[in-house]
Structure 1
Amino acid sequence: MKTAWVFPGQGSQAVGMGVDLATTPIGKDRFEEAKDILGWSVLDRCQGDETELAKTLYTQPCLYVVESILIDLLKDKGQKVDLVAGHSLGEYSALYAAEVFDFATGLRLVKRRSELMSESAGGKMVALMKFDRCQLEEAIAAIPDVVLANDNSDQQVVISGSPEAVDQLCSQVKTKRAIELKVSGAFHSPMMAQAAVKFKELLEEADFSEAKVPVLSNVDPTPSTSATVLKDRLTQQMTGSVRWREIMLALPQQEITQVLEVGPGKVLAGLIKRACPNVEVSNVGSLNDF
């Protein structure tokens, strides 16, 4: 039996997440350490206003901190993992779980990432449900300034780019539903290039170790434990597509029989259940789930 842990990203946050974790010694220490690094309280944000929590600047550090505490609690209980992957921001939690960097290094990276991404204005992201993939791929190839940002499953993707290009694509591709995401910019697209260049400076200085277990990265869903490779993939992540559909398909190929979604919500668990019906899927998002 081989187990994978997967970590959700922005969009899975919820008011109240992680609050019960503060009752554990591990959680209490982590929340205090996070406050020193961030200059604000993750616990306060998680118990505060939903609109505030949904701001990129706060969402990303809050998710990373909560997911890191869940990782520490799982390991403290002797839980073993054979493979990790995270969706967008969740890749930082996956790298922490694989012991590529320590908690503080990861949080400093996430803090800077969230700052740069929240400053990137002018783009648009839309989630599309149930569509003809050939038609979608043709439209993306034909329309400049729009890309496939998140390839989440056969029937669910997110496109990203300039508002005009995104609107043009939406008018050309027939879908069951199209939902505009409440984000500040065109994440996972070439429109993030300037932010990515600034972020790379901090990333290059960060201390990465060889991963204790293989990591499936967003921009390249082949398993790697190489510190150099994983850092390089993270460098590409801000402007590159989240290839989640391929990550899910890689799980049975890597002989994974159990998947645990670590973090708030059950979005990834739902996607994996549909994509990999023979894989057992569960999730842990609070102390009750232990």
Structure 2
Amino acid sequence: MTKTAWVFPGQGSQAIGMGADLFDLPEAKERFAEANDILGWSIAEVCQNEEDKVSRTLYTQPCLYVVESVLADLMQAQGQQPDAVAGHSLGEYVALYAAGVFDFATGVTLVKRRAELMDSASDGMMAALIGCDREQLDQQIQQTPGVVLANDNNAAQVVISGAPAAVEAILNTVKAKRAVKLNVSGAFHSPLMKEAAAEFQTVLDQATFKTARVPVLSNVDPTPATDADILKQRLGQQMTGSVRWREISLQLAEIGMTRVVEIGPGKVLTGLIKRTCPTLVLENVSSLSDIP
């Protein structure tokens, strides 16, 4: 029997025009209207803005959450259900929504505050390293104060985060096929987000979480969990903790998933999973036409 996991991408997967086929869909209009009321701006207008407004953190995160949540709703309306869920960074919020941990409005409220805090975080830098010597990288990180492994995406791709001087020091010493400084406002998934995380915690504490309908694999702890308190605690650690996506990929296979569907724009996560777990059947639902 096929066991299917749904995974949801995060910041970096956004694109101008995403969700265009959903905005006028009768069954989705209510969701977009509800989100617009909470946010105080229009998802459709931002996603279709030709000046790439959707790539500013303040807008990226709510837009991704809403578009991906609507696609997940449409999948469930067709009678499809996941056996497990996971999301990359921001995508974890959609995973929790799809698993019934909180309602749509709660998710929008949380993501709105998260985006505001992360957009205003001006300290720090992030950089992606592709094809680097992991042993050398781990050793250099241990020896360099002020930098951490932010995303362990797969064996060939990682992201480091921290103080600009510390990140530059790693880039200058670790050999990699390619190194790219990321266009982000701060050092996400690092201790430099501690103040933002503390502020966010006050909003998170007020949110109502329920037991998940299916296991959720969290960024900071990839072991499957359904308990509401555990999932909330893990989400609270996410802003300063590492995204352990390589381990999540391995865990999906470990718990018997045979098929993974990436729901959201782009094909980033299926690309990452393919390298770690080549035997998994991978599919993408980026738009309405992709829904079986």
TM over 0.5: yes
Matched residue type, 1:260: V
Give the 5 Å matches for 1:245-284: 245-284=246-285
Between the aligned partners of 2:90 and 2:207, the Cα distance in structure 1 is 17
Matched residue type, 1:203: L
Give the 3-state SS of the residue equivalent to 2:22 in structure 1: helix
Give the 3-state SS of the residue equivalent to 1:157 in structure 2: strand
Give the 3-state SS of the residue equivalent to 1:71 in structure 2: helix
Give the 5 Å matches for 1:51-200: 51-200=52-201
1:19 CA drift (Å): 1.3
Q: Is the 8 A contact 1:121 1:185 kept in 2?
A: yes
Q: Is the 8 A contact 2:9 2:265 kept in 1?
A: yes
Runs of 4+ in structure 1 off by over 3 angstroms are: none
Matched residue type, 1:220: D
Give the 3-state SS of the residue equivalent to 2:214 in structure 1: coil
Q: Which moved further from structure 2: 77-86 or 48-57?
A: 48-57
Give the 3-state SS of the residue equivalent to 1:255 in structure 2: coil
Matched residue type, 2:263: V
Match of 1:242 in 2: 243
1:26 CA drift (Å): 2.3
Q: Is the 8 A contact 2:47 2:53 kept in 1?
A: no
Between the aligned partners of 1:46 and 1:61, the Cα distance in structure 2 is 11
1:251 CA drift (Å): 1.0
Q: TM-score, normalising length from structure 1?
A: 0.99
Matched residue type, 1:163: P
Between the aligned partners of 2:28 and 2:130, the Cα distance in structure 1 is 37
Structure 2, unaligned stretches of length 5 or more? Answer: none
Q: Is the 8 A contact 2:136 2:174 kept in 1?
A: yes
Between the aligned partners of 2:194 and 2:53, the Cα distance in structure 1 is 26
Matched residue type, 2:150: A
**50 and 176 in structure 1: CA distance in 2 versus 1, 3 angstrom threshold:** farther
Give the 5 Å matches for 1:14-29: 14-29=15-30
**50 and 254 in structure 1: CA distance in 2 versus 1, 3 angstrom threshold:** farther
Number of residues of Structure 1 aligned to a counterpart in Structure 2? 290
Q: Which moved further from structure 2: 127-136 or 47-56?
A: 47-56
1:188 CA drift (Å): 0.2
1:50 CA drift (Å): 4.5
Write out per-residue CA displacement over residues 259-280 of structure 1, whole angstroms, 9 at most, x where no aligned residue: 0000000000111122111110
1:28 CA drift (Å): 1.0
Between the aligned partners of 2:238 and 2:215, the Cα distance in structure 1 is 17
The RMSD of aligned alpha carbons is 0.7
Between the aligned partners of 2:250 and 2:234, the Cα distance in structure 1 is 19
Between the aligned partners of 1:240 and 1:277, the Cα distance in structure 2 is 27
Q: Is the 8 A contact 1:14 1:50 kept in 2?
A: no
Structure 1, unaligned stretches of length 5 or more? Answer: none
Between the aligned partners of 2:218 and 2:13, the Cα distance in structure 1 is 19
